[in-house]
Chain A
């Protein structure tokens, strides 16, 4: 079956703009999580959605938001972009069992200039 699909793969934005990233999970997976990866902070949890509800949120400012649709696809939005938001954003989908692996997409590389 198809893996986790993230679009776009690369993005360049200007400070102050906003950006929307998309993630399509593996068919049948209802949990979608987002992570930010930077050289300085490593992999940081952003938020997790299940059945269109945000169940968990990481320690990020309110400029970072997300949502999940009824088909489990998820989007994350970053408003008022800052240079420090430049990162690889990874999406993961997970089946309902916590004792299984998370499946990651290839990520969206966001560069803020």
Chain B
């Protein structure tokens, strides 16, 4: 089952613009993670934000977490063509061992 929805499902922007993706989840969490997937390949971990954190930065990435709304957002600043990929949020079930529940993903296209 999907943890929640990601919004938008697809996003097309010009190189240099910022890209914002949103994720909603359903259950209580320890942390929320964002992953990137290039064209049907493996998932690459981008950033992890713990439930007691509200914002986290890593390079051009900024993640926010609102546990009261059960939502998170990923902002990629100054996007590059190489950022073209699908982006997924994921959380572990609280009562489970290492079972990651993924959102439906956002397909990002960065036009050169």
Q: Which residues of A contact B (CB under 8 A)?
A: 4, 31, 33, 35, 42-45, 48, 50, 55-56, 58-59, 88, 90, 92, 94, 98-107, 109
User: What separation, in Å, do the CA atoms of A103 and B35 have in the docked complex?
Assistant: 10
Chain B residues contacting A44 (CB-CB under 8 Å) are 1
Known contacts A31-B97, A59-B1; A101/B50 CB under 8 A: no
Contact: B97 with A50, CB < 8 Å? Answer: yes
Other than the given A48-B98, A88-B40, A99-B50, 7 more pairs (CB < 8 A) read: A33-B100, A35-B100, A43-B88, A45-B101, A94-B98, A98-B92, A104-B42
Whether the Cβ atoms of A99 and B45 lie closer than 8 Å is no
Interface residues on B, range: 20 to 34
Q: How far is the CB of B47 from chain A (nearest CB, A)?
A: 9
Do A90 and B31 have beta carbons less than 8 Å apart?
Answer: no
> Contact between A48 and B99 (Cβ–Cβ < 8 Å)?
yes
Nearest CB of chain B from residue A68's CB, rounded to whole Å: 13
Are A48 and B97 in contact, CB atoms less than 8 angstroms apart?
Answer: yes
Q: Does B30 contact A (CB under 8 A)?
A: yes
B26-47 CB contacts (< 8 Å) to partner A: 30-31, 33, 35, 40-45
B87 adjacent to chain A (CB < 8 Å): no
B25 on the A face (CB < 8 A) = no
| Separation of A72 and B37 alpha carbons in the complex (Å) | 25
Q: Which of B90-112 contact A (CB under 8 A)?
A: 90, 92, 96-102, 104-105
Q: How far is the CA of A105 from the CA of B1 in the complex (A)?
A: 22
List 23 interface pairs A-B (beta carbons < 8 Å), by A numbering: A31-B97, A31-B98, A33-B99, A33-B100, A35-B100, A35-B102, A42-B102, A42-B105, A43-B90, A43-B102, A43-B105, A44-B1, A48-B98, A55-B97, A59-B1, A98-B98, A100-B48, A101-B33, A101-B45, A102-B98, A104-B42, A106-B42, A107-B41
